[in-house]
Structure formats: structure tokens, C-alpha cells
Amino acid sequence: GFYIWIWAAIIQFFKKWRTFSQMLIRLMVARIVWGVILFGLALLVVEDSDNLKLIFISSMVPVISAAIWIPYLKRSRRVEATFTN
């Protein structure tokens, strides 16, 4: 499902569709939700604290990415001027 979503975002990016920024924001939020779900499952299965630390760190990557990109996509005049179709 995520691969189709990513390809749809790529198409919107290159065609400079106005809906690209909203599509990318939704994709980032979905990645965060998926990461939380997977981390919750890992808490149930993984017993080693070192492995849990690695899983937690890897689940934080989408959060950090979204914290940078979502405000940019929402506030940037450049994004607004580029995606006009």
C-alpha cells in the first residue's frame, strides 16, 4: 500500500500538481502511525532492551522527517508557487 502511495506522490511531484503537498503530508503521518503500531508490536515480542532501543530509534526517523518537512510544505511560498497544476 505504501509503495503505491509513494508512486502517486512521485507522479504528483513531477507533474507539479497542487495536491502534492497534502499527499506528502498524509504519507508522512501514515508512516508515523505505522511506526507507532510496529513499535507497539515490538514491545510485545522483543525482550532485549538493546534491540528495543534500535527499534525505537528507527521508528523516530519518520517523526523527525515529518517535523522538518510538514511545516515547510505548509508555509513555504516556494512550494505554493511550484505546485500550481
- Number of Cβ within 10 Å of residue 28's Cβ equals 20
pLDDT digits (tens, 9 = 90+) for 13-27: 999 999 999 999 999
Q: What is the pTM of this model?
A: 0.85
Instruction: Give the per-residue pLDDT at 43.
Output: 87
Cα distances from 50 to residues 47, 56, 70, in angstroms, run 9, 10, 31
Residues in the chain: 85
Percentage of the chain surpassing pLDDT 90? 67
With pLDDT > 70 as the criterion, what percentage of the chain qualifies? Answer: 100
* Type of residue at 18: R
